């Protein structure tokens, strides 16, 4: 039974925490407006980051030491599931992130291209948020999901550690699939999910009203801290209203709310459920930008569902090359990447499919390993972003261009060109041997 006391106890954890400071609601657009940009080519971008580093040994094709075609290449065991897609991917090594100063993780710095680390807030927006602003606007422009241990996802259903909308403005990722499912699909669900959705809607509206009235009783010095919470409840209520007008598309792609949501045997059940929700938001046109954090951008997380008994932090102190434990985790990631591609391929779009107009960026929040100087930071790109990215290549850089140059390249690909991303000329003289995007990636 859903009762008022239980609902109020869970409000902050499942709702406002994910909305405060998140730029959660833009102006609504019709479905037809969501479908294409000014060039007539729809575009969407997905970021997938695994914690504890991405060692070059886990991504560089066998025998390749310099840039070249991936045709006929043999991939390392860890990313073997991607081998059937060699003509549709790029493997990149040799970009650096020394200026992000990662230890256990670069956190916001990984996607921001600036100094990060534990207990350090964002100093600027991150590339996933920048891209979400450049793409055609949707009801939920940028969805962020975090995959951790089962207890961690239950205890902290929303966490901010990776994405940001500006300096001091972290964006929360959703980690509990039941809360996220109920938020996005509750209005069209059945049974207990629908009952909980209706009950929460009443509570959220009441709390927003009470919070707004309470502003008048606070001293001015406290208003800056209090107003984001009021705005958070307002954002939640606005989102629910707008989703009601988007119900037909949501019904078409709504994931099945199965036992893996309510009775997970392992954390990977919730990981899979979160991925299903992310795919549904893309296929329905609800969102154009998706960020996935396996390990929730820190050092923790677990993968017991894969038969891995070692947990996150200790995994980071294990070598990845030839390690069967890391093979399991990385191959699980790759199967998720393949599922993303196949799911988007199943939906026609223009003269092709949704995947034809999509780019997936796979990397780590911590360069190549834990406790690294970040002299090399591997990436895998999947898809060509509407024909803008040339695929089928291994690109080996010499360690003199930063990850910021790749992020500038991504902005060029989505029609928002910039020469440098989050890097001024003074820093560029010390950190970047070139200027502008990575021309080798352009079709």
Contacts of 140 (CB under 8 A, 6+ apart): 24, 25, 184, 239, 281, 286, 287
CA distances to 16, 20, 211, 221, 383 from 217, rounded to whole Å, are 21, 21, 10, 12, 53
pLDDT classification of 41: cutoffs 50, 70, 90: low
Task: Calculate the average pLDDT of the chain.
Answer: 88
d(CA 2, CA 116): 41
- The full set of domains in the chain, from first to last, is 27-178+264-441 (3.40.720.10)
Per-residue model confidence as pLDDT tens digits over 380-395: 999 999 999 999 999 9
Contact by Cβ (8 Å): 18, 182: no
Q: Give the sign of the dihedral formed by CA 4, CA 6, CA 7, CA 11.
A: positive
Per-residue model confidence as pLDDT tens digits over 397-432: 999 999 999 999 999 999 999 999 999 999 999 999
Percent of the chain with pLDDT over 90: 72
Rg (CA), the chain: 21
Q: What is the pTM of this model?
A: 0.89
pLDDT on residue 205: 78
Count other Cβ atoms within 10 Å, centred on residue 105: 30
Instruction: Characterize the bridge pairing of strands 169-174 and 348-349.
Output: unpaired
Stretch 124-135: mean pLDDT: 97
d(CA 76, CA 86): 13
Instruction: Characterize the bridge pairing of strands 352-353 and 289-294.
Output: unpaired
Per-residue model confidence as pLDDT tens digits over 61-119: 999 999 999 999 999 999 999 999 999 999 999 999 999 999 889 999 999 999 999 88
Contacts of 364 (CB under 8 A, 6+ apart): 49, 50, 51, 52, 53, 54, 110, 377, 378
Contacts of 433 (CB under 8 A, 6+ apart): 400, 401
Contacts of 175 (CB under 8 A, 6+ apart): 145, 146, 147, 148, 152, 153, 156, 157, 158, 159, 274, 296
Give the pair of three-digit tokens for residue 1.
């039974």
Stretch 43-62: mean pLDDT: 96
Per-residue model confidence as pLDDT tens digits over 234-263: 777 888 888 888 889 899 999 999 999 999
């Amino acid at each position: 039974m859903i009762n008022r006391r239980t609902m109020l106890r869970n409000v902050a954890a499942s709702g406002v925490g994910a909305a405060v400071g998140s730029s959660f609601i833009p102006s609504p657009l019709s479905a037809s407006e969501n479908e294409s940009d000014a060039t007539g080519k729809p575009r969407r971008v997905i970021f997938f980051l695994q914690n504890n580093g991405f060692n070059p040994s886990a991504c560089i094709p066998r025998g390749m030491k310099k840039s070249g075609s991936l045709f006929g290449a043999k991939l390392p065991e860890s990313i073997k599931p991607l081998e059937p897609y060699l003509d549709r991917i790029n493997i990149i090594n040799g970009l650096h992130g020394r200026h992000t100063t990662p230890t256990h993780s670069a956190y916001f710095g990984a996607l921001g291209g600036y100094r990060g680390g534990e207990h350090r807030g964002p100093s600027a927006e991150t590339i996933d948020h920048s891209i979400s602003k450049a793409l055609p606007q949707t009801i939920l422009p940028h969805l962020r999901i975090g995959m951790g241990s089962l207890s961690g996802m239950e205890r902290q259903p929303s966490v901010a550690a990776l994405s940001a909308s500006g300096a001091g403005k972290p964006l929360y990722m959703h980690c509990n699939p039941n809360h996220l499912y109920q938020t996005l699909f509750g209005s069209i669900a059945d049974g207990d999910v629908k009952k909980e959705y209706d009950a929460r809607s009443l509570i959220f509206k009441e709390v927003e009203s009470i919070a707004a009235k309470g502003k008048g009783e606070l001293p001015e010095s406290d208003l800056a801290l209090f107003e984001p919470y009021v705005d958070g409840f307002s954002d939640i209520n606005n989102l629910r209203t707008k989703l009601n007008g988007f119900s037909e598309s949501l019904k078409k792609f709504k994931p099945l709310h199965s036992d893996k949501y309510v009775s997970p045997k392992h954390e990977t059940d919730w990981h899979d459920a979160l991925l299903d929700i992310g795919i549904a938001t893309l296929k329905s046109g609800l969102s154009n930008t998706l960020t996935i954090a396996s390990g929730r951008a820190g050092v923790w997380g677990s993968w017991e569902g894969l038969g891995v008994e070692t947990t996150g932090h200790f995994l980071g102190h294990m070598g990845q090359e030839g390690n069967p434990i890391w093979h399991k985790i990385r191959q699980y990631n790759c199967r998720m990447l393949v599922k993303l591609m196949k799911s988007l391929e199943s939906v026609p779009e223009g003269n092709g499919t949704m995947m034809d107009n999509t780019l997936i960026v796979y990397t780590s929040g911590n360069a190549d390993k834990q406790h690294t100087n970040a002299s090399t930071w591997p990436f895998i790109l999947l898809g060509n972003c509407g024909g803008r990215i040339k695929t089928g290549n291994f690109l080996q850089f010499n360690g003199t261009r930063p990850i910021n140059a790749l992020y500038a390249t991504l902005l060029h690909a989505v029609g928002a060109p910039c020469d440098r991303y989050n890097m001024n000329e003074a820093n560029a003289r010390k950190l970047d041997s070139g200027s502008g995007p990575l021309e080798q990636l352009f079709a």
